[in-house]
A and B are shown apart, each in its own frame.
Chain A
Amino acid sequence: DIVMTQSPSSLSVSAGEKVTMSCKSSQSLLNSGNQKNYLAWYQQKPGQPPKLLIYGASTRESGVPDRFTGSGSGTDFTLTISSVQAEDLAVYYCQNDHSYPFTFGSGTKLEIK
Chain B
Amino acid sequence: EVQLVESGGGLVKPGGSLKLSCAASGFTFSSYAMSWVRQSPEKRLEWVAEISSGGSYTYYPDTVTGRFTISRDNAKNTLYLEMSSLRSEDTAMYYCARGGVTTFAYWGQGTLVTVSA
Min CB distance, B116 to chain A, in Å? 23
Number of residues of chain B lying within 8 A (CB) of chain A: 21
Say yes or no: A104-B101 contact (C-beta < 8 A), given A49-B107, A49-B108, A49-B110.
no
B61: chain A residues at CB < 8 Å are 1, 100-101
Contact check, A106 vs B110: say whether CB atoms are below 8 A apart.
no
| Cα A103 to Cα B103 with chains together (Å) | 11
Tell me if A104 and B45 are in contact (CB < 8 A): yes
Residues of chain B within 8 A (CB-CB) of A103 are 47
Q: Interface size (A, Cβ < 8 Å)?
A: 23
B59 and A55 within 8 A (CB):
no
Most chain-A CB neighbours within 10 Å: which of B95, B102, B104?
B102
What is the distance, in angstroms, from A60's C-beta to the closest C-beta of chain B? 11
Using Cβ atoms and an 8 Å threshold, which residues of chain A touch B35?
Answer: 102
Q: Check A102 against B101 for contact (C-beta < 8 Å).
A: no
- Chain B residues numbered 59-117 whose CB sits less than 8 Å from any CB in chain A: 59, 61-62, 95, 101-110
B107–A93 CB distance below 8 A = no
Q: How far is the CB of B46 from chain A (nearest CB, A)?
A: 7
CA distance A51 to B46 in the complex (A): 15
Which 10 A-B residue pairs are closest in the complex by CB-CB distance? A101-B61, A49-B107, A104-B45, A102-B47, A55-B102, A40-B102, A55-B101, A97-B102, A97-B103, A52-B105
| Residues of chain A at the chain B interface (Cβ within 8 Å) | 1, 40, 42, 48-52, 55-56, 59, 61, 91, 93, 95, 97, 100-104, 106-107
Residue positions of B touching A, CB distance < 8 A: 35, 43-47, 50, 59, 61-62, 95, 101-110
